[in-house]
Amino acid sequence: MEFDISGARIFWRIPTGIPILGDFLLTETLVVSWIVMAIITGLCVFLTRNLKVEKISKRQAVAELLVESANNLVRNNTGGTKFDRLIPFVSALFATSVVSNLISLTGIFRSPTADLSTEAAWAVVVFIMITAEKIKAGGILGYMKGFTEPIAVMTPFNILSELATPVSMACRHFGNILSGVVINGLIYAALAVASSALFGLIPGAVGEFLSHIPFLSVGIPAILSFYFDWFSGVMQAFIFTMLTIMYIANAAEG
């Protein structure tokens, strides 16, 4: 029995000839990302159809709850309405992350978050925002000077720790999702082997036939999937979002 975990499938390769960027690959990651975006946008459109001031529908209540939760999350963690402009960004980050993590539950799609490119992209955007916020708070010189504190010797370490922020954010999220993929793959493979061995004990053609169907794969992986997909998926999205808010709020305080 062979077991292999591979990266996202490549559907189409467009040679560009640009040195560093390389060929454009239409991968599963991108396609599923677009599906995720379509789902989120469709949900937004569906929830906000027919809004009323009074006697609201359940759908509108959900929409309002989502908006209020996002507002409260950002406002409570940054202490005020100073960062209200960040709310749509943070919401987009969270929604995309959650839906991307959970879309693997369909069994058809591979999570776009199981590709480091996705998390790296998000982390770099957040890193640029943090840096911009720091420069805005202390000026470019203040930002530079921040690296030499508390003493000049610390400068290399400060730069390292600054760069570690996006790397750790990206790798934390990616690692958790990938570990879910790996563990689930292992479980399925192991259960297939186990059921093959178990039903292979039945003599004759019946056992031969039944041993090819992984009966044990029904049910048991669902329990593990509850942790690795549901819990971990929502948790990682939340952590990524919270870190984004925290880092940006801290950066603005200088």
- Residues near other proteins, by CB under 8 A: 4-10, 16, 20-25, 27, 29-30, 33-34, 37, 40-41, 44-45, 47-48, 51-54, 60, 63-64, 66-68, 70, 87-89, 91-93, 95-96, 112, 115-118, 120-122, 124-125, 174, 178
Nearer to other proteins, 124 or 224 (CB): 124
| Distance (Å, whole) CA 103 – CA 113 | 10
Residues 85 and 94: their CA atoms lie apart, in Å, by: 15
Pair 46, 63: CB distance under 8 Å: no
Minimum distance, C-beta of residue 234 to other proteins, in the bound complex (Å):
18
| Nearby residues of 47 by Cβ (< 8 Å), 6 or more positions away | 59, 60, 62, 63, 66
Q: Which residue has the tokens 């199981």?
A: 114
The tokens 């929502």 sit on which residue? 234
Give me the least distance between CB of 87 and other proteins, in Å please: 7
The residue among 95 and 216 lying less far from other proteins, judged by its C-beta, is 95
Distance of alpha carbon 121 from alpha carbon 126, whole angstroms: 9
d(CA 155, CA 215): 59
Q: How far is the CB of 30 from other proteins (least distance, A)?
A: 6
**Taking the complex as a whole, how short is the minimal distance between the CB of residue 56 and other proteins, in angstroms?**
8
| Paired strand residues for 24 | 14
Residue with smaller CB distance to other proteins, 132 or 154: 132
We find the least distance from the C-beta atom of residue 124 to other proteins, in angstroms, to be 7
> Residue 24: enclosing H or E segment and its boundaries?
strand 24-27
How does DSSP classify residue 230? Answer: I
Please, which residue, 118 or 211, has the CB nearer to other proteins? 118
59 versus 220: smaller Cβ distance to other proteins: 59
The distance of Cα 178 from the centroid of its chain, to the nearest Å, equals 10
- Shortest distance (Å) from residue 127 CB to other proteins: 12
Nearer to other proteins, 37 or 220 (CB): 37
